[in-house]
Structure 1
Amino acid sequence: MKTSLFAFPFSKSTALKLLRPALRPRIFLKCKQPSPFQPRYAHTPADDPYFQSIVDNPAVLVRTGQKHGPGLIVLILIPVISFGLGTWQVFRLQWKTDLIARFEDRILKPPLPLPPRIDPAAVKDFDYRRVVTTGFLRHDQEMLIGPRIHNGNDGYLVVTPLQREGDASKILVNRGWIPKKFKRQVDRQAGLPIKGVTVEGLLREPWKKNMFTPDNKPELGEFYFPDVEQLAKFSASDPVWIEETMAPDLLKAYDREALGIPIGRPAEVNLRNNHTQYIFTWYALSAATAIMFWMLVRKPPPDSIRRIRQNKEW
């Protein structure tokens, strides 16, 4: 009979059954901030002092059926609105180009003598039309509009009513710009003609004042904006505005500035036409926001959301 180092009082199968629980791997449980002095392994959750049940740590609801919120609607409106504004600027560019061409065609025509009586409602159809008239300047009713900047210097626009010859009406003439130091008439006697004068200039339509321009104070002699209706009422003139013109001559302009003689404007159209820049700006904004919208829509969801969606499909 063979002897063995280990002798069991029971059969081999019974011994394996008794040893099987000891051979099983121990269960690993995650602990919340385990202490280095506490065991990290436990056979059952009851043996782990750091175990948390679903009651202690409830689950967080995650929305998986909708990828984006209401902000996506706002983002999609930006490229649509920007594209519409860019298209609107295209039509504005065409309108402004035709308007400038029509005004330049009027300037090229010879000066038109003003009739004795002028209908203010018809001035709109003759905007930027060159006209000529004669009369006497009423310096006693002179009005200075300013401040106005000319070549970096501060000054004023000289507006003087012109009493036309005969029984003709009295109109407003914008004679041009003078430096600020010649605000008083006694300092610029050379720029105050007494005899009759011939005025050649552009017949202009009245402007509209924006909200940032302060109101005129005629009673104090302060004028900030050429309000034709107000200036005509203040000087008992017809609401007809003439801008006196002169040939562009740098030396002549310097001589006028030194003597306080108003410097007239050149006979040219000075309307601003920035619609091409606006078109580029709005279309560029539309393209940029459209790309951002596409990138946001195509962005993959987070890993947690993707795993939850996969679990729902199981």
Structure 2
Amino acid sequence: MNRVFKLFKVRDVPVKTLKRKYATVKTANVDWSPMKSKKQLSQNIEFSGTKSRKVFFGLLCLAPIITFALGTWQVKRLKWKNQLVAECEDRLTYKPIPLPKNLTKEDLPNLEYRKVLVTGHFDYSREVYVGPRLHDGKKGYTLICPFVQSNGSGDVLLDRGWISADKVVPQSRNLQHLSCPKGEITVECVVRVAPTKGIFHLDHEKHSKLYQYLDADAMAEELGTKNVYLQVLQNFHDRPEWLNNESKLSDTVNDAVAKTSSWAFWKSSPKIDSSKLNNDNDYHPDIIDTSKPFDTADEFDPLQFINAGVPLGKVPKIDYKNNHMNYLVTWYSLSVASTILLIYMFKKGRFLNPTEEKMMYAKKIID
């Protein structure tokens, strides 16, 4: 600092002022020893730009062809799905038949949604549950129970339907002759092809009664049944023929009490005379008339089944999803849009040589 003062002979001037007005060292702003390269920077940029343009141009040319092919494939899928739904709807109109004895997994697609009758009894010791599943905002599970056929053709998997979470234990259910029928019974079902295990599905934990998803293969292997999956049809009629002789009277009283609690909201409750309950052969008009065929008075409502723990069976309708029309419209729309874009790019000349574009721009400036 003293050398600066001596050089300019301005000792009384502040240092900050000197730094602002005078520069003692000059530094070059340009690097005079740049790295040498065989290719210029402009050439590299031009090469990469041309390559990306070619890739984009190729994809744009392929887009109309690929999307048109996918749309045509969806047309075939739509025809196949419509035919499948029509066949299944036609099968639902047929009268139920006894389940074939030698039915295998390979035969299920040809009988899907066919109504069948199975005769035998449930094995409640092997009940399993799938879920949880929601029904009208209430937590529950899909109840699947092995059914032992009386004709000796093997056990099958019966999907009894949805049951609330607080009624999964068989002892906690009411209307036992409907929720846990005992003895030999005949059940009306529909044949279904169970969905296969997905890629992202985890393996089922063995010896567990809870399944996260429906895996008929794992269920059949673990429960020792045939790989035949049936769904019990929804039926809210009473089944007095499912009552056992020794428990017929007690279950009849329970049914009357259950109906009394639900009927009390809109009609007078039926009165039960205990003096009439001494003999099983007596006629009890105030409870249930089992000597007459079913009518609307012998039918429950879904809420009664839910509260009593009776599984809600399968509604007789087709569950297939047919979204192929939406896919068809989507792919064909993309094909048309990409074709229009390609024609627009050609008409506007967007695929000229970058070097030629630069020369044209330079000529405009020079002129």
Q: TM-score, normalised by structure 2?
A: 0.62
Once residues 169 and 266 of structure 1 are traced to their aligned partners in structure 2, the CA distance between those partners, rounded to angstroms, is: 26
Equivalent residue number for residue 228 of structure 2: 240
1:130 to 1:297, Cα distance in 2 relative to 1, 3 A: same
Q: Are the counterparts in 2 of residues 203 and 241 from structure 1 also a CA contact under 8 Å?
A: yes
Once residues 202 and 87 of structure 1 are traced to their aligned partners in structure 2, the CA distance between those partners, rounded to angstroms, is: 34
Once residues 101 and 358 of structure 2 are traced to their aligned partners in structure 1, the CA distance between those partners, rounded to angstroms, is: 89
Q: Are the counterparts in 1 of residues 104 and 227 from structure 2 also a CA contact under 8 Å?
A: no
Q: Are the counterparts in 1 of residues 127 and 209 from structure 2 also a CA contact under 8 Å?
A: no
Equivalent residue number for residue 154 of structure 1: 139
* Counterpart AA for 1:231: M
- Alignment partner for residue 227 of structure 1, among 208, 215, 224? 215
Report Cα offsets for 1:43-63 as digits up to 9, x if no partner. xxxxxxxxxxxxxxx996697
1:258 to 1:299, Cα distance in 2 relative to 1, 3 A: same
Once residues 261 and 229 of structure 1 are traced to their aligned partners in structure 2, the CA distance between those partners, rounded to angstroms, is: 26
Report Cα offsets for 1:144-190 as digits up to 9, x if no partner. 01122333333211111111224342111100001223233332243
Pair 1:87-2:72 in alignment: yes
Question: 1:119 Cα deviation (Å)?
Answer: 3.5
* Counterpart AA for 1:240: V
Q: Are the counterparts in 2 of residues 78 and 289 from structure 1 also a CA contact under 8 Å?
A: yes
> What are the equivalent positions in structure 2 for 1:22-171 lying under 5 Å apart?
68-171=53-156
Question: 1:124 Cα deviation (Å)?
Answer: 2.6
More helix by share: 2
Give the structure with higher Rg (CA): 1
1:82 to 1:161, Cα distance in 2 relative to 1, 3 A: same
Pair 1:215-2:187 in alignment: no
Question: 1:237 Cα deviation (Å)?
Answer: 1.4
Q: Which moved more, 1:279-288 or 1:86-95?
A: 279-288
Equivalent residue number for residue 290 of structure 1: 339
1:192 to 1:203, Cα distance in 2 relative to 1, 3 A: same
Once residues 60 and 234 of structure 1 are traced to their aligned partners in structure 2, the CA distance between those partners, rounded to angstroms, is: 70
Equivalent residue number for residue 181 of structure 2: 193
Report Cα offsets for 1:170-219 as digits up to 9, x if no partner. 11110000122323333224322223322101011232122233322232
Pair 1:260-2:245 in alignment: no
1:233 to 1:81, Cα distance in 2 relative to 1, 3 A: same
* Counterpart AA for 1:164: Q
Unaligned 5+ segments in structure 1 are 1-57
1:166 to 1:109, Cα distance in 2 relative to 1, 3 A: closer
* Counterpart AA for 1:155: G
- Give the 3-state SS of the residue equivalent to 1:218 in structure 2: coil
Unaligned 5+ segments in structure 2 are 1-39, 238-298
Once residues 116 and 95 of structure 1 are traced to their aligned partners in structure 2, the CA distance between those partners, rounded to angstroms, is: 30
1:59 to 1:225, Cα distance in 2 relative to 1, 3 A: closer
Pair 1:299-2:287 in alignment: no
Q: Which moved more, 1:89-98 or 1:141-150?
A: 141-150
What is the Cα-based RMSD across aligned positions, in Å?
3.0
- Give the 3-state SS of the residue equivalent to 1:194 in structure 2: coil
* Counterpart AA for 1:270: D
Once residues 142 and 224 of structure 2 are traced to their aligned partners in structure 1, the CA distance between those partners, rounded to angstroms, is: 19
Question: 1:248 Cα deviation (Å)?
Answer: 8.3
Q: Which moved more, 1:219-228 or 1:131-140?
A: 219-228
* Counterpart AA for 2:64: P
Question: 1:125 Cα deviation (Å)?
Answer: 1.9
Report Cα offsets for 1:56-77 as digits up to 9, x if no partner. xx996697xx794321111222
Q: Which moved more, 1:181-190 or 1:275-284?
A: 181-190
Equivalent residue number for residue 273 of structure 1: 322
Q: Percent identity?
A: 28
1:59 to 1:202, Cα distance in 2 relative to 1, 3 A: closer
* Total equivalences in the alignment: 253
Pair 1:308-2:341 in alignment: no
Once residues 217 and 349 of structure 2 are traced to their aligned partners in structure 1, the CA distance between those partners, rounded to angstroms, is: 64
Once residues 208 and 309 of structure 1 are traced to their aligned partners in structure 2, the CA distance between those partners, rounded to angstroms, is: 63
Q: TM-score, normalised by structure 1?
A: 0.71
Q: Are the counterparts in 2 of residues 177 and 263 from structure 1 also a CA contact under 8 Å?
A: yes
